[in-house]
Amino acid sequence: MAYLRTAGAASGILIVLLLLAEALVASEGFKATHSSALVRHRTRRQGHGPHRRYHPLAMQQTATATQQRGGVAADGEWTVSKPIPAPVVEDSRIDPRVKGGEKYLHLPRLYVYDHCPFCVRARMIFGLKNIKHDLVYMANDDIETPTHLIGKKMAPILEVRGRRPGEGLIMPESLDIVKYIDESEEIGAGLPLLKPFSGRSDLKEWLDSIAEPSRRLSRPRFAWSANLPEFAFDSARRTYIARHPLENPSSYEENYERSAEWIAALSEGLKKLDGMIANPQEGYISEGGISYDDIDMFPRLRNLSIVKGLEFPPNVKAYIEVLSKKTDVALYTKMAF
Ligand SMILES: N[C@@H](CCC(=O)N[C@@H](CS)C(=O)NCC(=O)O)C(=O)O
């Protein structure tokens, strides 16, 4: 009898614990849906539908693939199991569900790697125009997610989900994304902001001149950083190292150990750049205001901020700090090593 009573009490406690756990999971799910920086962890899916090709302004997907990703079904109804409540807009950023975008149920979503300069280009325009969005960090060895979206492993990818087929859009290519977001009336963030590329050859030549020391310094640091979400898994770090070989010396360890040499070369280059910035205090590099030149330059310099001991001369420092604030893309300075 005593044994039976104990068993009864134990199962009662178990049921209460299970109910509590379920409630916790439900509330966590709610929070994740509303987070503006959604870090998506890798999941292993059991097979998936045929790969979709990039098709601007059209959601080309099978119902199966859609259901797996919680998107729009062929009949235009959302396949998520629970209704999604209205968002809480905590800052002044524009929420396309509220302003001029009733047909969009979700925030625009940007799939990125944190260290990827092309992804930073795309992030910059969202920051500059104060457009609220979901940021999805893919693991560096996640082939399925980008392949599902655009047919290959590549970042960044923009996804704007519509209520019905034909209303959404999936777009690769950083400069296309920047242009679309800068000019889009549907996302609704005012007039275009960016001036065109200036065509300055000195900027291009400068970027070419620092490419090698930049690679040697930044790659080992990205791959070994504990803080970059795309490298949270060992397999992701190994994938990156395998796909980004260095030569003479080839090992990431040796390149890291010889940092002082590459820092010396890079510092010379940065001194030259210091005299090439039109307005460091306002954060633009070519006369006339912020332009595609800045969309190209800032991500490269931001990546160098992960190198401890690399001093940025005053104009370059002011330029990256101002642009970091304006674009809401943090520098790596505080986690440099
Ligand atoms: N032209 C593309 C280039 C994008 C690109 O090369 N992205 C890199 C990451 S920085 C990538 O996804 N590479 C494939 C890979 O990492 O496997 C763009 O501007 O968006």
Domain annotation for the chain: domains and CATH numbers: 63-183 (3.40.30.10), 201-335 (1.20.1050.10)
Rounded Cα distance, 205 and 165, in Å: 44
User: What pLDDT score does 58 carry?
Assistant: 31
**For residue 1, how far is its CA from the centre of ligand 1 (angstroms)?**
68
Indicate the top mutation candidate among 54, 113, 116 to test ligand 1's pocket, ranked by most ligand atoms within 8 A of CB. Answer: 116
Torsion angle, alpha carbons of 96, 100, 105, 110, to 10: -30
User: What pLDDT score does 54 carry?
Assistant: 33
> Is any ligand 1 atom within 6 A of the Cβ of residue 158?
no
User: Does residue 51 have a pLDDT over 60?
Assistant: no
**For residue 62, how far is its CA from the centre of ligand 1 (angstroms)?**
26
User: What pLDDT score does 241 carry?
Assistant: 97
**For residue 161, how far is its CA from the centre of ligand 1 (angstroms)?**
22
User: What pLDDT score does 73 carry?
Assistant: 35
> Is any ligand 1 atom within 6 A of the Cβ of residue 239?
no
User: Does residue 91 have a pLDDT over 90?
Assistant: no
User: What pLDDT score does 231 carry?
Assistant: 97
Rounded Cα distance, 120 and 305, in Å: 14
Residue 239 Cα: closest atom of ligand 1: 17
CA Rg, the chain, in Å? Answer: 23
Burial of 177 (0-12, 13-18, 19+ CB in 10 A): buried
What's the mean pLDDT when you consider all of the chain? 78
Residue 140 Cα: closest atom of ligand 1: 16
Which residues, 6+ apart, have CB-to-CB distance to 142 below 8 Å? 42, 153, 236
User: Does residue 19 have a pLDDT over 60?
Assistant: no
Q: Which residue has the higher pLDDT, 240 or 134?
A: 240
Place of tokens 């790697």: 113
User: What pLDDT score does 84 carry?
Assistant: 42
